[in-house]
Amino acid sequence: MPLEIEFSKHSLLKIDILKSHGIEITKEKIEEIIKTPDKIELGYKERLIAQKVIDEIHVLRVVYESSSEKIYVVTVYPGRRLRYEKD
């Protein structure tokens, strides 16, 4: 059974802010990024950061916490591929 994905108030606010700047991100897109990321990193407080390319210049990064019961989306933000695709 797939884990429930819960969105923080902050992450929902970020979706609205991005929309007001012309970046249309849906909850379904965020769920897809968590399930099939291009890259995953360990972040602050052991949170996971899933990343996926969204256009030629940008990636979308999803910061979340994962437990055996659910996935909790903390925040989402776009970033420049040049910054986040370095290895």
Render each residue's pLDDT in the chain as its tens digit; 87 residues.
568 999 999 999 999 999 999 889 999 999 999 999 999 999 999 999 999 999 899 999 999 999 989 999 999 999 999 898 775
What CATH number is given to the structural domain containing 9? 3.30.2310.20
Q: What is the pTM of this model?
A: 0.91
How many structural domains does the chain have? 1
Domain interval for residue 60? 4-84
Only one residue has tokens 């996935």, namely: 71
Cα–Cα distances (Å) from 43 to 25, 50, 61, in that order, read 22, 10, 11
Q: How far is the C-alpha of 60 from the C-alpha of 70, rounded, in Å? A: 21
